[in-house]
Amino acid sequence: MTVTTLRNRPVVHGGDRSLRSESGIALIISLMAMLFMMALGSVLMLSTATETKIANNFRNSSEALYAADAGLERSMDDLLTISDWNSMLSGGATSAFIDGAPGNRTLADGTTLNLNEVLAFANCQALSCSTADYIAVTNERPWGVNNPRWQLFAYGPLDNMIPTSSINSPFYVVVMVGDDPSENDGDPLKDGAVVANPGSGVMALRAEVFGPRGVHKTVELTIARTDTTELERGYTGQRGQDEQNRRARKAAVQTPGGAALQNQSLTTTAGGIS
């Protein structure tokens, strides 16, 4: 009997595997789904944060405008107690609403505000002004020697405006006074003569408000003296980027809670405003 021994034969365990096996595809799909959901969540978080910032900026902008209006109203009350307007135009008389000598102030968000620099920037758009800068003709100040020479009149935190401490606001208010540029006497530190000058008895007020995140609003108001104890309002105009935007849309400048404001020309006659 012949016995045949089979040696060195390859043995295949488990059978043949297909080259197109789908094993592990579920894990890949799950990972892709997770990445998609993470990306979607990130977009939603960024969108929510952006909307929150937009809402905060709008609130701060509106509050700053109201603060400027409050500063002007307070300043006009103090103006009624000062008979000599030349003392204000020369910087000698101020409102009762001040928080010390002009200088650096620390705002609620920790930033520093220098009142002297605020005043200089209003007068010549620089941190300091020379005599030539005061009378320079620019787009902002086209009246030359009759350019208003702004003087600090009222300034302080909005919280301090009411003694009862009922205001809780991070804004700082600065109000300046200046001679009306319609005068032609060439002396912005004095009110013009009653008969010879069309700007006699007229003064300009400028309120600037500073707040968190660089919020800054400027409002100007023209007032006129009459033969009564009241002050006649001229025109109020919000300046800065907001006004430029409204002008671009050919819309009137607005004040909070009021109707559209239009510029008005004021002329003075004996006994009041005509």
- Cβ atoms within 10 Å, residue 169: 18
Q: How many residues does the chain have?
A: 274
Instruction: Report the candidate in 177, 176, 171 with the shortest Cα–Cα distance to residue 113.
Output: 171
Q: How confident is the model at residue 251 (pLDDT cuts 50, 70, 90)?
A: very low
Phi/psi of residue 242, nearest 5 degrees: -65, -40
Mean pLDDT of the chain: 77
Per-residue model confidence as pLDDT tens digits over 48-75: 788 888 888 888 888 899 999 999 999 9
pTM: 0.68
Residues 6+ apart with CB under 8 A from 112: 104, 105, 106
More confident residue, 237 or 187: 187
pLDDT, position 269: 42
Contact 141, 153 (CB under 8 A): no
Q: How confident is the model at residue 194 (pLDDT cuts 50, 70, 90)?
A: low
d(CA 144, CA 159): 37
Phi/psi of residue 203, nearest 5 degrees: -135, 150
